[in-house]
Amino acid sequence: MVFAELPDKDAHPTFFEVVTSCMLHDPCGTINPHGPCMADDVCSKGYPKAFTEHTTSSYPTYRRWDDGHTFER
């Protein structure tokens, strides 16, 4: 099972720390135009990803609810 959501910081502080320190895409785009993911002035990995209610199975697009939880690196 895969989720593309931040764990609740209060309910699961250890999971939140692991995800926010190891598993997030670094800033790119106009914030960091020379980032390793940048190609032709856009992120080659397609970030930021859109919010979506369901996971799709062709090329994985993971469920990513807009639940108000945010994190800034």
Q: What is the pLDDT of residues 18-68, one digit of tens each?
A: 988 888 888 898 889 999 999 999 999 988 888 888 877 777 777 778 888
**4 pLDDT exceeds 70?**
no
CB 43 within 8 A of CB 28: yes
In a domain, 73, yes or no: no
In a domain, 49, yes or no: yes
Query: Residue 1 has what pLDDT?
Result: 59
In a domain, 4, yes or no: no
**14 pLDDT exceeds 90?**
yes
Using CA atoms, how far residue 38 sits from 32, 64, 73, in Å, is: 9, 23, 18
Domain with 34 in it = 27-67
Query: Residue 6 has what pLDDT?
Result: 85
In a domain, 19, yes or no: no
Number of domains in the chain: 1
